[in-house]
Amino acid sequence: MTHPTPAFALILGVVLALVIGAPATTGTPHIADKYIQKRMALMNSQRVALTALTDMSAGRIPMDSRSARQTRRFLIATTASIPKRFRKRRFDPNSHARPDIWTNWKDFELRAKRAEAAAKGLKTRSLDSLRRTLPDLIQACHSCHGSYRAHVNEFTTH
């Protein structure tokens, strides 16, 4: 067994945090509702994963196909679980989920499906293929946020 790469170890840490239900530690304001905490933790874990890939794509960290492949798999799983994490209509003053999610549920699900398809479409074999396929996923994240997340903040998306 080789040692996990730092990016993969980081993602693994996030996954474990999700599994044991630890609250997000990325500066999310306090939210009492566990259900809302979980959907935000899911989103934040996607941001961490996406950052690993954009860092590779931009040359800030070396391209690592193995780690990128793991991250792709992680993002396929997280995007697939978006509908499940949002199905219940729950509000909190510190949540940025727009009520339209639940009046346009089919469309919300469709956006999640598109993000999942974009995650599946990631090609991680080379830096070139990663660079070609990553924008679709980023676009899918932004597209859903544009419609269903209040106060769109590009910076926190990835």
Q: How many residues does the chain have?
A: 158
Question: In the complex with ligand HEC, which residue's Cβ is closer, 2 or 25?
Answer: 25
Figure out which of the listed residues 57, 70, 95, 124 binds ligand HEC, where binding follows CB under 6 A: 95
Figure out which of the listed residues 47, 69, 85, 87 binds ligand HEC, where binding follows CB under 6 A: 47
> Is there a contact between 76 and 137 (Cβ–Cβ < 8 Å)?
no
Torsion of CA 96, 102, 108, 110, to 10 degrees: 170
> Is there a contact between 125 and 65 (Cβ–Cβ < 8 Å)?
yes
- Residue 157 found at the interface with ligand HEC (CB under 6 A): yes
Q: Cβ atoms within 10 A of the Cβ of 117, count?
A: 14
- Residue 158 found at the interface with ligand HEC (CB under 6 A): yes
Figure out which of the listed residues 11, 68, 82, 130 binds ligand HEC, where binding follows CB under 6 A: 82
Question: Angle at Cα 115 formed by Cα 72 and Cα 25, nearest 5°?
Answer: 70
- Residue 145 found at the interface with ligand HEC (CB under 6 A): yes
What is the contact surface with ligand HEC in residues (CB under 6 A)?
Answer: 24, 28, 36, 39-40, 43-44, 46-47, 50, 75, 82, 95-97, 101, 108, 111-112, 115, 137, 140-141, 144-145, 148-149, 156-158
